[in-house]
Structure 1
Amino acid sequence: MAAQTEGSPCWADGTFGDLEGAKRFYGELLGWTFGASMPEYGEYTQAHVDGKAVAALSPPAPGQDAPNAWCLYLASPDAAATAAKIRANGGEVLVEPMQVGDFGTMVLATDPGGTAFGVWQSGSHKGFEAQTVPGAYTWAEVWTREAEKADHFFAAVFGYGVKHLDDDAVDFSLYDLGADPVLGRMKMGAEFPPQVPAHMNVYFAVADCDAAVEKAKSLGAELSFGPMTIPFGRFATLTDPQGAVFSLFDPTTTEGEMPKVTQAP
């Protein structure tokens, strides 16, 4: 597999205080199987669908009080150069470019509104081996209260084109790399309690959103929003038993006309 285009979502991993609990939950919900944990990399554990790597789970680093959360990584040909652009455009680098064996180089950062994300310069680990199939990554959105700052930041750092949804009911942008959108941006309004931080909302594909939501609830998740059908598919947003936000998405169930978009100036 070749390295992905700069700015493309290329990997997702979750940090969980109860690693075995996270493996049980996502394994049962999404049909994941797991490779052997890697003690030399903090028990990092890859998840697979039909033998293909789709995500990873790990506990927080010793002494680190990290929240239980999902992290999306965006591809970069030069992690150090991307870290410099992050700083130059008002973001914060939390973890400086760090070589991870021969797998690649990672950066952890936040945008000016506090949304955490990762950067991945691939070595032997190119990223997702499967996408969009049930159980695999399919989409992600920046959920932020600083919408204009996010649009400027991600465009400046990763070269995205930015298009705004023509919808008075929601402030939503699409980020693209010249063709189809690769990432969304949702402005968090008053409906989001103040204690809900800016975050990257990661979507996993499922064959039946409603059935998957019921299964997630039976496994201890809480439904935050949906299920709802839009022209792109049917989705729902949940909080897993350890407090991590994620979404489920069925692209085969659609409703309504595709929305109009306007190119950002």
Structure 2
Amino acid sequence: MEMTSYPAGTPSWVDIGVPDMEAAIAFYGALFGWTFTEPAEETGGYRQALLGDKSIAGFGPQMNPGPPFWATYFATDSVEATAEKVAAAGGQMVMGPMDILDIGRMAVFVDDTGAFFSVWQAGTHPGAGLVNEPGALAWNELDTRNADEAKAFYGAVFGWASRTSESPMMTYTEWQLGERTIGGMLHMGPQFPPEMPNSWLVYFAVEDTDAAIAKVGELGGKVLMPPMDIEAGRFAVVADSAGAPFAVIALADALTG
């Protein structure tokens, strides 16, 4: 699905800071068929991953120590207004607000449970130009041990409602904005490693989940959670060659039609 704009409060972009840019673009280019823009000096060497001529995701040099991770950005009409809501809800701003040329305005926050997220006020760049197709962004999920606090926080900041379902395997919440389901939340129980932090997980669509995780292994990544079939499709959680976690999902036909 091609995208030219995003309503406020919906996921609009993802990016990653990488310790080795050439290794990262080799890994993701081979896995998803992405090509990459040339690094721009005025944006600190930031590059965009493309499918055809559509922007998919961003890559920049890693700025902070620690394991690399994929960042989720939510669209906003005003970074400053969102920052006020974040502070009122118990979160903190850790970077920004800042203008990125005429491309847009951004800030990075941490919610009141320790999960990082970003917001994007679009200028000339609205966000991902393609979603829900192989090689493109498909889903954004908060993995947390503090579900009740997260419901209150994101409801206050973005106006999300939540719908929670339970199964023998997991408790899962769908985030809703108006009539639209815009993301999810996995309630992490004792079966999850205690060192796994509260964080946003990015899902990319693939044609075949099993083939994708085999390719991840060939490219130097690893499987963190083996393939599982759910209503939305067949997914797995993997790590790239630098250790950054993300998920791949072969979407059910109803979600791609």
Whole-Å separation in 2 of the counterparts to 1:92 and 1:144: 17
Partner of residue 262, structure 1: none
Partner of residue 261, structure 1: none
Partner SS state of residue 102, structure 1? coil
Deviation, structure 1 residue 112: 1.1
Partner SS state of residue 195, structure 2? coil
Whole-Å separation in 2 of the counterparts to 1:41 and 1:50: 22
Partner SS state of residue 154, structure 1? helix
Alignment length (residue pairs):
252
Partner of residue 91, structure 1: 91
Whole-Å separation in 2 of the counterparts to 1:174 and 1:146: 15
Whole-Å separation in 1 of the counterparts to 2:59 and 2:198: 21
Deviation, structure 1 residue 38: 1.2
Residues 210 and 2 (structure 1), Cα distance of their counterparts in 2 relative to 1, 3 Å cut: closer
In structure 1, list runs of 5 or more residues that go unmatched.
255-265
- Contact 2:231 2:252 (8 Å CA) reproduced: no
Post-superposition Cα deviations, 1:192-249, rounded to whole Å, max 9, x if no partner, equal: 2222211111000001111011001111111111211111100000111111110001
TM-score (norm 2): 0.94
In structure 2, list runs of 5 or more residues that go unmatched.
none
Partner of residue 154, structure 1: 154
Q: CA RMSD in A?
A: 1.5
- Contact 1:234 1:253 (8 Å CA) reproduced: no
Whole-Å separation in 2 of the counterparts to 1:4 and 1:253: 23
Deviation, structure 1 residue 187: 1.5
- Contact 1:16 1:67 (8 Å CA) reproduced: no
Partner of residue 42, structure 1: 44
Post-superposition Cα deviations, 1:104-163, rounded to whole Å, max 9, x if no partner, equal: 110101111111111000011110110111100010100111111111111110011111
Partner of residue 10, structure 2: 8
* Aligned pairs (5 A) from 1:135-154: 135-154=135-154
- Contact 1:15 1:67 (8 Å CA) reproduced: no
Partner of residue 240, structure 1: 240
Deviation, structure 1 residue 180: 2.9
Does 175-184 or 82-91 show the bigger shift? Answer: 175-184
Deviation, structure 1 residue 66: 5.4
* Aligned pairs (5 A) from 1:65-76: 65=65, 67-76=67-76
- Contact 2:4 2:129 (8 Å CA) reproduced: no
Partner of residue 28, structure 2: 26
Post-superposition Cα deviations, 1:62-107, rounded to whole Å, max 9, x if no partner, equal: xx42531100100000000001101110111111311111011101
Does 220-229 or 245-254 show the bigger shift? Answer: 245-254
Partner of residue 249, structure 1: 249
- Contact 2:206 2:212 (8 Å CA) reproduced: yes
Whole-Å separation in 2 of the counterparts to 1:2 and 1:215: 31
Residues 25 and 2 (structure 1), Cα distance of their counterparts in 2 relative to 1, 3 Å cut: closer
TM-score (norm 1): 0.91
* Aligned pairs (5 A) from 1:194-209: 194-209=194-209
Deviation, structure 1 residue 15: 0.8
Q: Name the aligned partner's letter for residue 219 of structure 2.
A: L
Partner of residue 60, structure 1: 62
Q: Segments of 4+ in structure 1 off by > 3 A?
A: none
Q: Percent identity?
A: 38
Residues 218 and 128 (structure 1), Cα distance of their counterparts in 2 relative to 1, 3 Å cut: same
